[in-house]
Structure 1
């Protein structure tokens, strides 16, 4: 383990059986990135609400199902995102994770116990998973999922593995994971409709190519008129949709930096910085400006710069 002492707080720990660990009264909190992320998911939530309402109206007219029932069920379904059996299905079938085998758990569990002990967090509240990947990576998802890749578990020294886990724990204790999960969950109906329209796009293009020039001209004028009318009625707010991906990525980068700070305050700043420095030297070329602006992770130089004050 890294020899850097834990910051002075209400935490006492010794790595071993019979250890006395003081848990913090508040296991989780929320920072400003949580509320910003939820606010940026609002357009997707409104689109999904419109889709659900349309389905509810169709069910009412066809089967006599009350309109409020599908809407209420969908609104309450967000709680499933933190339901343990639902999280297991998410981990296995969406994130493609697996439970640690005994040899993996022998390495992972003691490191996780030490990280959570330093943080004053009950580590048994979380589920440890492993991703079959040859990348050095880890993730925190939903309300209780913490996963590392097979390569990270195999190749990282213990102190660096602890730093990675402390980073992911920071996402959970700061609320980044549950807010991202809620945004993803409630945007699902709108996302499904968008994918359906994307699949119809080639057919629409073929139909447009077969249409006459006059029909295309009329369709273009009608589309422009509807777009202008919509923008005028909404004071140009739909134009913000083009900026949302950049704003969402910026909030994601900020959340990553705050998770780095969480790991550093637990005493894992130096091993985390060493890992970032190695990945920086292995990087073949710096990404372009557009790629950096759309990335939810800050570049390694930026992360190292923000870690300096904690080293």
Structure 2
């Protein structure tokens, strides 16, 4: 289903809910419903900053588009947007139910069959009822990532400004560093409590992550990409730089069991 149609359908539902809330809670009820919907709509924009998602580059697009079309055709869907996240991992997180992410490692280096299998796994996170836990997980973990991104943005200019101040060797440069560091310190102190709460919520949300990965693997197997997916996982295990990655080993074992 096209994204425009989905958003239009959501808008109609939100309008009905807003009218109902307005009857119970005049003015503020309708405003609350619209505000919540606006937050949910703009969450992918915040996620693109916090997670580092971007549109595929031209070379990546050439490799991704045919594979993505084939995977969506096998799944009977065409309403999902594909983005890339800079990572050397095999799989990426899911930012929302309409957006599927693939790592730059997979987009650039996997053979076509294995790339399709990885894309089928990522799509498996948001197919059918699995879209609900994926969406909830994204919404719960997003605040911690946004806060970390904001804090890094506050502190990032301090070191370059210090180097410039040393090079200039002028009081005005050191004063600018002091003011910038003081502002960043105050902002960090203000954000410390919500950041801690966001990290606690994100940690709790990651506890069932293994089951979500297993369900996405099962969806890829049902779509006919199981053999290529287990090959991609086992290749990752064989080339692991730091010891034996047990989560991937268990994942490969589960895939083998599903393939019989």
Please say whether Structure 1 and Structure 2 have the same fold, judged by a TM-score greater than 0.5. yes
Q: Which position in structure 2 is the counterpart of 1:31?
A: none
Alpha-carbon separation, structure 2, partners of 1:181 and 1:156: 26
Cα separation, partners in 2 of 1:260 and 1:78, compared to 1, 3 Å: farther
Q: Which position in structure 2 is the counterpart of 1:156?
A: 110
Matched, 1:249 2:217: no
User: What is the CA-CA distance between 1:194 and the residue it aligns to?
Assistant: 11
User: What is the CA-CA distance between 1:147 and the residue it aligns to?
Assistant: 1.9
User: What is the CA-CA distance between 1:151 and the residue it aligns to?
Assistant: 2.2
Correspondences of 1:49-60 after superposition (within 5 Å)? none
Q: Which of 242, 247, 259 is the equivalent residue of 1:299?
A: 247
Contact 2:116 2:225 in 1 (8 A): yes
Higher helix share: 2
Q: Which position in structure 2 is the counterpart of 1:112?
A: 68
Cα separation, partners in 2 of 1:94 and 1:74, compared to 1, 3 Å: farther
Alpha-carbon separation, structure 1, partners of 2:72 and 2:216: 14
* RMSD (Å), alpha carbons: 3.9
User: What is the CA-CA distance between 1:166 and the residue it aligns to?
Assistant: 0.6
Q: Which of 79, 93, 97 is the equivalent residue of 2:37?
A: 79
Q: Which position in structure 2 is the counterpart of 1:285?
A: 243
Matched, 1:267 2:224: yes
Alpha-carbon separation, structure 2, partners of 1:178 and 1:245: 13
Q: Which position in structure 2 is the counterpart of 1:179?
A: 136
Q: Which of 167, 175, 180 is the equivalent residue of 2:121?
A: 167
Contact 1:265 1:310 in 2 (8 A): no
User: What is the CA-CA distance between 1:80 and the residue it aligns to?
Assistant: 3.2
Q: Report Cα offsets for 1:203-228 as digits up to 9, x if no partner.
A: xxxxxxxxxxxxxxxxxxxxxxxxxx
User: What is the CA-CA distance between 1:157 and the residue it aligns to?
Assistant: 0.6
Q: Bigger relative contact order, structure 1 or 2, given CA contacts below 8 A and separation 6+?
A: 1
Matched, 1:139 2:87: no
Contact 1:130 1:148 in 2 (8 A): yes
Cα separation, partners in 2 of 1:277 and 1:144, compared to 1, 3 Å: same
What is the aligned residue count? 189
Structure 2 gap segments, 5+ residues each: 2-24, 151-186, 194-199
Cα separation, partners in 2 of 1:245 and 1:140, compared to 1, 3 Å: closer
Q: Report Cα offsets for 1:165-221 as digits up to 9, x if no partner.
A: 111111111123212133346899x9999974747xxxxxxxxxxxxxxxxxxxxxx
Alpha-carbon separation, structure 2, partners of 1:148 and 1:266: 18
Q: Structure 2-normalised TM-score?
A: 0.59
Q: Report Cα offsets for 1:110-158 as digits up to 9, x if no partner.
A: 111111111111x2x1112122334433332112111222221111011
Larger Rg: 1
